[in-house]
Each structure stands twice: as structure tokens, then as C-alpha cells.
Chains A and B, each alone.
Chain A
Amino acid sequence: MKAILALSDGTIYRGISIGVGGTTIGEVVFNTSMTGYQEILTDPSYRGQIVALTYPLIGNYGVNADDMESSQPQVSGFVVKELCDSPSNFRSAATGQDFLERHQIVGIQGIDVRALTKKIRVHGVMMSALSTEHTAAELMELVENAPSYDQIDFVRRVSCQQAYQWDRDETHRGGQWSMEFFAANRVVVLDYGVKFNILRSLRSRGCEVIVMPCTSTLEEMLRWEPTGVLLSNGPGDPSLLEYAITNIRNMIEYSQERYLPIMGICLGNQLLGTAFGGTTYKLKFGHRGANHPVKDLATGRVYITSQNHGYALADEGLPSEVEVSHINLNDHTVEGLRHKRLPIFSVQYHPEASPGPRDNSYLFDHFVQLMSAHPAS
């Protein structure tokens, strides 16, 4: 079955259908990771986006039950050069095609993804439509009339509806955790579209993990008597999320009086920065990949990070108590914040990796240390 990808600037790519037949609309973005397609497909931060992978051979090791970052694929559409029909890996439980089909994902293969990537690099991300049913002209019309990605609150769509406890047990490879970390740290995770590996990373460090809906208020959170709060990753434009920003402001105010460590990841970093008084802006084509160098300004050390974001925090407008702690070495954008006095910090990249390098998992250690350093305990 044939498929067409149409971009809002009029570019048309013709290829072969993967996943199911149908039509889908979304912002088209590219990711340069060479492994981890299953984690990418199931990352809620991709909601509303048609994701193209620049690595040409996808699906080689199949899909399995363990590499899910949420309960289902989240992308609006999937674009690859070649989807492997006979994967080989001892964990492989199904092919990429089976997986996309089961979850009703529309995709396309056989197009020149490098040409598409260059297009996005030069002209920026844009709305696009992917279809097995419509003509190119019909698709162009659909794209023109579609609501813009930037105007939709995707966070409400991916967040959990009710609070739940994450109790899947995780064993920590290496096992260098001393007993003090198993002191009852209870983390409330505000679910803006959280990836499972954030929850696993906390759990494997002995934390009790409570996941709460994105609209939860400070009062609702405090009922759980958390020792720390994690602001998760998530999709879309942070400036639309007034409810989340207000809530984080309340948290910051509360933490002036009571010791409450807060860690932000990705969208969590942007929301935290906005709550402090900063602003966000849209990047031309975002950062999506597993090879972004980030510099820790305090130590001068450089870390290779996993990234997935289309917006960034401006380095202006932050109060003097909050400093930019990390920057991206490629384009010098803000990659992290640190409160000088309070136990609050955030990063724009993904310490939970999955996919990508695990070099930054020490940030979870740091968060656990902050919680364990509770002056009252």
C-alpha cells in the first residue's frame, strides 16, 4: 500500500505504508538516535508529532514488553527509511509492523528521510499530514486547515487521570545503594507525560513513587506528605499550561518555609523556569537525539545527553536566586537551572535516558541525596 507525507510548505514524499492505513496530522520532527525506536514511539512527549528517524534501518531488534516508556505508542505518525520485517534479538516479541498495527499507528517507509531532515533543518518543524487514503492535493488542504501543534494542550491528553502508586520493582544493577537511601523517600511525580524510566529510576533508588495528574494542586500533593516532587517531561508548548505554572509557583512558595526538594526534567524544566519568571520560545527544529553535549557550568564537565524538546527556556528574566546551571554546547541554549538557596533544580535533557546514554543518572542520585538531607529528619 502506498502512502504520502505532505508538509505544510507543499513538499510531498511518496513511500510505502507501514503500520495501519489511514490519515494522520501532526508536526513533523526528526530524531537522530540510532537505537531506541520503541522508547521513542512510546514517549508521551511525542504526542501530536509525526516522528522521522534519521537512522535508516529501523526495527532490527523487534519490540518487547520491557522497552515501553508508556503503555502505548504516542506518536501521531512514524517515518522511516526501512522497517525491518524479520527482526533478530532474544528479547524480540513482535515486529515493528505488528506493534504499529496493533496500536493503530499510521506510518510511511521508503522515503528519503535525509532529504526530509534537511528540509526541517532549513525551514524548521512544520505541520504535515501522512495518509494512505488521500491525494496530495487533499492532504495539503487538510494540513492547511489543521489546528497548529502550538495551540493544543497535549499534556492533559497524556497525563494520568487519577493518582497511582508506581510499584514495579526494579533491581539496580551494580547495587551500590547504602541503606540510608531506602529511608522513606516519597516522591510525588507530576505527570505531564512521564516516561516510565523516570519512575523506574526513582524506584530503583528506594523511593516510593506516587504519580499524580498534571492538574493536581499543591494541597492534593501535600496530602501524600512527599519528601520530594518531580516535574516530569511532556509534550507541547509550556506557555499554554497556566494551571501547571500556577501550581509550581505555589510549590516554590511553600518550599521557602518547608524543606521540599524539587527536580524538573524537560518540560518540567521549562515549567519551573516559567514559574520563576522566565519565558520559553520555540526552537527552529528542536533537539531530538542521543548525542547532545551539555556543559555543567559549575564544574566545566561535559555530558552526552539524551534530548527531546521543541521549546527552550530563555536565559533572561530569571530572578537572581536562580542560575543557569547547564548549557548546550551546540547552540548554547539553557539546559538546566539551579536555585542558589533552595533544593530545587531542573534539566532540559533526560537523565532517565531510555533511549540514550546513561551518563546523567547521577542527577537522580543527587535528588535522592537532597531528599535524604531533610533537615528535620
Chain B
Amino acid sequence: MPKRTDIDKVMVIGSGPIVIGQAAEFDYAGTQACRALREEGVSVVLVNSNPATIMTDTEIADRVYIEPLTIEFLESIIARERPEGLLPTLGGQTGLNTATQLAKAGILDKYDIQLLGTPLSAIARAEDRELFKQTMEEIGEPIPDSAIVTTVAAAEEFAERIGYPLIVRPAYTLGGTGGGIAGDIHSLRNTTTRGLTLSMINQVLLERCVTGWKEIEYEVMRDGADNCITVCNMENLDPMGIHTGDSIVVAPSQTLSDKEYQLLRSASLNIIRALKIEGGCNVQLALDPESMDYYVIEVNPRVSRSSALASKATGYPIARVAAKIAIGLRLDEIPNAVTQKTLACFEPALDYIVVKIPRFPFDKFVNSDRTVGTQMKATGEVMSIDRSFESGLMKALRSLEIGVYGLRLKGAELWSEMELEEKLRKATDERIFVVAEAFRRGWQIREIHEQSAIDYWFLEKIEKLIIMESRLRDLRLEDLTPDLLLEAKTMGFNDHHLGELTGLKETVIRARRKEFAIGPVYKMVDTCAAEFEAETPYFYSCYEMEDE
């Protein structure tokens, strides 16, 4: 299926202002998509209300409009530009909602504009709770017991039948705004009332809470010929109960056997096929840590924050490929931009681990509630790549630029044991440091697991970092042997942090390292684990043998 010839001009809706619950990822996706469309000779009209973006640079699109994203303004732009197509799936929820409104208002029909990529009916099937539930039931994919309510009374009735805790999610909102976990009738009343007000269609979903289950995501792509691939999967270190945007996330999954990996992969492909999505989609699943039971939690029928992460994590340009699919190309007609020899129709093989840590704005909003839950509070995220989880985690922590160089948070030693336990159970943005502090104080791994529900695999790794910390503490220079230094560097301790721990100067550590010729090398992110030569790769540092 070659590129459609009836589409010469496409309008792309940007994501509007950057708000809490959304980072700059839609700018990244939108920019990629505009470039991909222009590569195919399509003229791009971009509309965004936010001028502080890359996509509104004049060289990204053929025409750039910086106007409010309301249907009135959009209609006047449409009337003037007369695009043949509209691509709404790259501007996050804002773009998608705006396109839905344009269609409902009859503007798309009036100007004979085709909605490209995923059809609106598919978007509705993914976003409308009742339709989604129906679709999942039809294809036999399990979803948690749930009910759609439009009144508080109906919410109470459901709670009486199912019990607590329940998750409350308003329909059609950004980053789960207005949602929460209700543990009793009072919080249920509060959250439902708030959710009903915030939802664009005054709907709230109540759902059995699977808090503590593994939270796994798959990024999937589908083209118009029904070819499907998964770009990658991701595992949340913070299990179900904490919004994935507020969770520490690794790619690929670490604690899933092939049976579990394939079970959830097949489910994700099943879902993208049933929803008839053309382009990218993100599937969130909850997996019971004690069985093969799983639930489909949510589907984002568009390029999302997670897909931006998956893109950078794998080297697979999801937005670019989604844009090409939208204008009729098939996955096997799109080249892999990194290898340039293979095609976009494959699944990236990673030979490294990616660690994402959310960045919270609590240094600016000092008085706000720092607990994290089902409503996203992070305003950004950092991502690191390395050969082990330990070093990836340490790298990402440093990248947060919150003044930490490792797992040590200033003031953590002042927490009382009660505070520590409370912070473990009721997660805040500082939970990773809380876990570290608990290990430092000699807590058993089982106790930490019971309080936090974080998988043992991650806890073991954090414990290893703490053990290394203690081995390094107050060390004399001559005790810092080449083997120990290399081990610490391989685990991700930087020179500054080594200085803090040993009490030696950072410059002394660096000199010692140079003396033993211990330094990082750089390896490629090439989408294929070195199986093919890469033409346009990017690099990450690690302590290995070969420098690329």
C-alpha cells in the first residue's frame, strides 16, 4: 500500500500549553511527525497555542499558526488553508480532544477533511469507558470489575457491592487529573464529586483496585494492512497504585519470564487490532505477581508520554512511523532510520537497560502534598541508559538535578523509624531514597517489600548499591584498589559521590582512576543489539571493554 496520493496538505494539532501531568514529549513527537510528513512531500500546517516549542519553529512545518486551540480558531485556519487531512494523534490528549470536537461540530465534514491515522470511532472505543469495556469483553481480554457512574449515589452503590479500595478515574482528562484511590465512603464521595466536575463528559470510572500488582506497559504499532509490532515493553518499579508517569520505569521488563512477556504482548496486539488503531498506541496492564492473571488497565490510542520514552529508549521513532502510517504507508514500506538497511517492521532488541525517573516540581511548590498515587504529579522525567540497573538508576538520579549524586538524600538520616515506615507505605516523590535509607538502617528486604510492594528484584539491586556505599565509606586512598574502584564505577558511583562517601577529594578520586586507566566507554543505541550496522545511532556511557 503506497502513500496515499489524495493527501497533499495535512493539518497537525499541537499539544498546547505544557501543564502538570504532561511534559514536553508531545512537542518531540509532533516535531518528528511534521518532519516525517514533509519527507513524503506532504505540506504541513501546524497549529499550536504554545510558541515555546520546537514544532512551532518555522522550519518544522510549512505553515505555523500560533493560535488558541479552540474550534472557532481552528475552523478559521481550516477555511483558509483547506487541508485534505487532519492528524490529531500526535498532540497528546489536547490534540485528540480538539479533533473530536471538530468532528462533532461537523467542521471536518463541512470542509471535506479526512481524519488521518486512527479513526475517531477507534479513539472512542479506547477512551470511552463503557465502549472500552465492551470491546475488551468481546475479544476476551480481562479488565477489572468496574462501573461507569455519573452520580455520587451510583458510586456508593457500586462500592457496596465490590468493596474498597476502589480506583476513581474521570473520563477524558489529561494525566488522570481528578482521579484517586478511595479507601472508604468519605474519600469515595470526595473523589467522585471532583472527578465528575473535571471530566469532559461528566463520567467517572470506578474500578477494583489492583494495587501492588506489577504494572507493565507495551508500546504497539499497527498499520492499515493490520501488520502489528511491539516497540518495547516497560516495567514500573513502583507497582500498581502509582501513576506510571510518577513511577520509576525500566525498559525492557526485568522480572517477566518469556511466558509472561508473550502473554502480555499477545494481549496488547489483540487490543490494538480490535481497536483498529492505525499508528501507535500504549497498553497498560496489571500482572499478578503470584500468577499468570492479568488485567488490561488502560489504552492510549495515540502517541503518549510513554511512547516518547519508548522511542528514546529503543531508537525506534514512534511518532515518525505513526505519521507515515497515517498517510497510508505500511510498516514494511518504512525504512528503519537507525540502520537504514532494515525496515520499521521489526521489534527493537535492546542490549542495555533504560531507567526513567519522574521529576517532580515540589522544589517549586514547597507546600503541596507530596504523596503520589493515581493522579500524575510529575512535570518531567529523566532517562538513563546503561548496562546494569544499578548504574542506570544512579545515572538517572544524578540527572534529576535535585542535588543528589546517588541514593543519599540530605536529611534522610533525620527521619524517625515511624516516619520511614510511613513513607515506605504511602509513597511520595522521595520513595526511592526512603527504600535506600531503610536498607542503610538494616531493614530486611522482606520488610521493605511488605511495606512498598516493590518487587524483590529491584530491592536486591538497591541493597547492593547500599552495600557498596558502606564498603566505600571512610576509605583510605590506598584501600581504593583498582578492583574496588572499577566495581564502584561499574555500579554507577560518580567521582563526586565517591568523594562524599570516602571523604577523599573528587579530584583525588579522579586522579586515582586515571592512574589505573579506569574510564567510561561509549556504546550505541542501535535498535538491534549490534546485529546490524547502525548508520545514525546515539550513544551512552558505561564501564565496559570496547569503545564504539
Contact = CB atoms under 8 A, between A and B. Distances in A.
Interface string A48-87: 0000001111001100101100000000000001101011
B360 interface: no
Interface string A283-307: 0010001111101000011101000
A116 to B, nearest CB: 9
A180 B341 CA distance: 46
Most interface-central of B226, B531, B545 (chain A CB within 10 A)? B531
A282 interface: no
A11 to B, nearest CB: 11
Interface stretch (B101-109, B121-129, B344-352, B367-375): B344-352
B530 A117 contact: yes
A174 B532 CA distance: 37
B285 interface: no
B258 A39 contact: yes
A38 to B, nearest CB: 8
B455 interface: yes
Contacts of B254: 57, 60
A291 B532 CA distance: 13
Contacts of B320: none
Interface in B490-548: 523, 528-533, 544-546
Interface in A97-122: 111-115, 117-118, 121
Contact of A304 (B229, B350, B387, B523): B229
Contacts of B261: 34-36
A359 interface: yes
Nearest to A64: B257
A330 interface: yes
Interface stretch (B162-170, B262-270, B418-426): B262-270
Q: Which of A13, A33, A86, A301 has the largest count of B CB atoms less than 10 A from its CB?
A: A86
Contacts of B257: 35-36, 38, 61, 64, 67, 89, 91
Given A174-B140, A329-B346, A358 B259 contact: no
A183 to B, nearest CB: 25
Chain B at the A interface: mostly helix, strand, loop or mixed?
loop
Contacts of A30: 531
Nearest to B530: A117
B457 A88 contact: yes
Nearest to B253: A35
Nearest to B459: A88
Interface size class of B (residues with CB under 8 A): 35 or more
A113 B351 contact: yes
Interface string B213-257: 000000000000111010000000000000000000000111111
B388 A82 contact: yes
B532 A330 contact: yes
Contact of A115 (B227, B259, B456, B544): B544
B520 to A, nearest CB: 13
- At the interface, is chain A mostly helix, strand, loop or mixed? loop
B529 A55 contact: yes
Interface stretch (A203-211, A333-341, A348-356): A348-356
A364 to B, nearest CB: 15
Nearest to B332: A302
A356 B262 contact: yes
Contacts of B468: none
Contact of A112 (B226, B229, B460, B545): B545
Contact of B345 (A64, A118, A293): A293
A186 B422 CA distance: 62
B181 to A, nearest CB: 25
Interface string A7-22: 0000001000000000
Interface in B352-386: 352-353
B262 A358 contact: yes
Contacts of A64: 257
Contact of A301 (B226, B256, B347): B226
A196 to B, nearest CB: 13
A82 B349 CA distance: 17
A56 B351 contact: yes
Contacts of B229: 293, 304
A358 B389 CA distance: 28
A357 interface: yes
A112 B546 contact: yes
Nearest to B291: A90
A32 interface: yes
B456 A88 contact: yes
A113 B330 CA distance: 34
A34 B259 CA distance: 12
B262 A88 contact: no
Contacts of B350: 34, 55
A332 B72 CA distance: 52
B289 interface: yes
A121 B526 CA distance: 14
Given A32-B529, A35-B257, A88-B455, 15 more contacts: A54-B529, A56-B353, A56-B388, A82-B387, A89-B257, A90-B290, A117-B529, A289-B529, A291-B346, A291-B347, A291-B348, A301-B226, A302-B331, A357-B262, A359-B269
Interface of A: 13, 30, 32-36, 38-39, 54-57, 60-61, 64, 66-67, 81-82, 84, 86-91, 111-115, 117-118, 121, 174, 285, 289-293, 295, 300-302, 304, 329-330, 353-359
26 contacts: A32-B528, A35-B261, A56-B353, A60-B254, A60-B457, A66-B259, A67-B259, A88-B255, A91-B257, A114-B351, A114-B523, A115-B546, A117-B529, A118-B546, A289-B349, A291-B346, A291-B347, A293-B343, A293-B346, A301-B226, A301-B227, A304-B347, A329-B343, A354-B258, A357-B262, A359-B269
Interface of B: 140, 225-227, 229, 252-259, 261-262, 265-266, 269, 289-291, 330-332, 341-343, 345-353, 387-389, 455-457, 460, 523, 528-533, 544-546
